[in-house]
Structure formats: C-alpha cells, structure tokens
Amino acid sequence: MYPSRFRYEAPHSLDEARSLLAQYGDEAKVLAGGQSLVPLLKLRFAAPELLVDINGVPGLGHHRVEAGVLRVGALCRHVDLERSSVLARHPLVASAAPLIADPIVRNRGTLVGSLCHADPQGDWASVLLALGGHVVAEGPHGRRPIPMAEFTLGPFQNALRPGEIAVEAVAPAPRGQVSGRYLKLERRVGDFATVGVAVALETDGDRVVRAGIALTGVGPHTIAATAAEQALVGRPLTAATVEEAAQLAAEASRPKGDHRGSVAYKRHVVATFVRRGLARTDLEAVA
C-alpha cells in the first residue's frame, strides 16, 4: 500500500518546523513516531499536502523529572519510558509504558504523538488525564499549556490550532506518598484495551490527598471517573471507600458489548481494576 503523494520536510529546528506548519495550516501534519500516521497515510485515510518530520529536531527526545514534575518531550518514545529509571514517583506512567502496542511499535511511537492522535482507545490519554497533566503547545503566538481534560476534543481531534505543535506532555509533581498504576485487559499483545484503567493516588498517611481515575476503551472517549475520585479525596483508604470508588467508576463507564465482552463484563472489569489500582501493599485494609 502506498500513501498518496505529499511534500516532505525534515526541519532541524523547532522554529523551522513551526514556520512550515504556520505556512501550510490544516494541510500539514507533524510526523513523530509514525506508528499511527503512516498506517493512516497508507490507507489514505489521511492525505496531507505536507509532512513535517520532527525526528531531526533537537531537544524533544527528553523525559525528565524536575522538582517532581515529569516532562515528556515530543520525541520521547514509548520504549524510553518503558526502560526509564526516573519514574519512581510516577508509577502510573512506568506501568503503562510496557502495555502500549508491541515492542517494535514502542521503539518508534511517542507518548505526545499518541495524545495528539486522540484515538479514543489510546492508553496515554487516560494516564495523563488521571495525573491531571497538560500538553505544551507551541505556535505562531508562542507557548501555551492545554490541560489534558481539554486537549481531546473528539475522536482523532485535538485542541491544537493550525500551525501549533505539541512539544511536551507534563505531569504535575505528586504530593505525599504516591501509588497507582495502569491496568489493561487486552486479548493479545498489540491489541487496544478491552478495558484500561489508570489510577493515580496521593496519600498522606492513610488519607487520600488526590485521586485520579480514568478509563480507556469503555466509552466513546476517555472517561474521567470524577465521582469515584471525589469519593476518595479527604477520606482514609479503607475497604469501604475503595469499594465505593470501584462501583462509581463502573457506573461512569459506558461500554459497548462486542466480541471483546458484554457490557456487564466490561463494567465488572472496570470495578476490579479500580480495586487493584488502589490497592496499596502497605495498607492492610485494602489488601
């Protein structure tokens, strides 16, 4: 399968990339890992006039923790996060990375590209949503942060304006004791989630300071399980509060029954994953 014809540019600076994007507006597409875009080009679901390959732009490959804040550059690959040694206080990110796609796709694909792609089945959107993260966009009018909750507008639609490029995804510094992880039910490696649940938890003693719970694959888009989060914040993490959160998250899900499972089954898995995600080995009550 061949993509239709396009012009290809591989700028060596962010300025150059931005001015190409500004010039072509809607007719241009950024090429990052290409693991979603190239398949779309081949199927001719996408046929941009210009591809701006950012792989040669310096200063985008990083991921680092500064004063507790995690910054993931636009060229940081899934595999970099999978093998990272700086994610001790970001267990949700560390646990999600090896569950994205398959090992070969992870060598190329990027977290930021995944957010931009805005596939309702994408795993990273749930992770960033649960963390209360944001995307940093750079465009003709400078830099602006876009909260993850506002970044995805719909299936395959993001909040970037024509001419803007996403340079970084950012997760804020967690407070207190950090736990949580990403749980994903998939039929085989490389499959999208039948059910995915992202749990980010910050506690002070046994009291919950912040809870983030987001759901993948069980609705028309990534779902923030806000009621479940609110049921936890300010309260101790006990079997009862965990159970309440699990049920509220299951209620917030809007799965469709399909070959991967029935509605009831998927809801059940959501509740189970929330329980497991909240489990802290140091707190007996939840075990």
Ligand X SMILES: Cc1cc2nc3c(=O)[nH]c(=O)nc-3n(C[C@H](O)[C@H](O)[C@H](O)COP(=O)(O)OP(=O)(O)OC[C@H]3O[C@@H](n4cnc5c(N)ncnc54)[C@H](O)[C@@H]3O)c2cc1C
Residues that bind ligand X (CB under 6 A): 29-37, 39, 74, 100-102, 105, 109-110, 112-114, 116-117, 119, 122-124, 160, 165-166, 190, 192
Q: Which is nearer to ligand X, 110 or 241 (CB)?
A: 110
Task: Select 96 or 242, whichever has its Cβ closest to another protein.
Answer: 96
Q: Which does 53 bind (CB under 5 to 8 A by kind): ligand X, another protein, none?
A: another protein
Q: Which of 129, 122, 86 is nearest to 101 (CA)?
A: 122
Rounded Cα gap, residues 114 and 256, in angstroms: 23
Pairwise CA distance, residues 180 & 209, whole Å: 13
Tell me which residues touch another protein (CB under 8 A): 1-8, 10, 31, 34-35, 38-39, 41-42, 51, 53, 55, 79, 101-105, 107-108, 189-190
**Residue for token digits 């014809």?**
5
Q: Which does 117 bind (CB under 5 to 8 A by kind): ligand X, another protein, none?
A: ligand X
Q: Which residue has the tokens 């500004």?
A: 22
- 54 touches 30 (CB < 8 A): yes
Binder of residue 2, out of ligand X, another protein, none (CB less than 5 to 8 A by kind):
another protein
Q: Tell me phi and psi for residue 138, to 5 degrees.
A: -120, 130
Q: Cβ closer to ligand X: 125 or 274? A: 125
Which residue is it, tokens 């300025």?
A: 15
Q: How many CB atoms lie within 10 A of CB 47?
A: 13
Among another protein, ligand X, none, what does residue 122 contact (CB within 5–8 Å per kind)?
Answer: ligand X
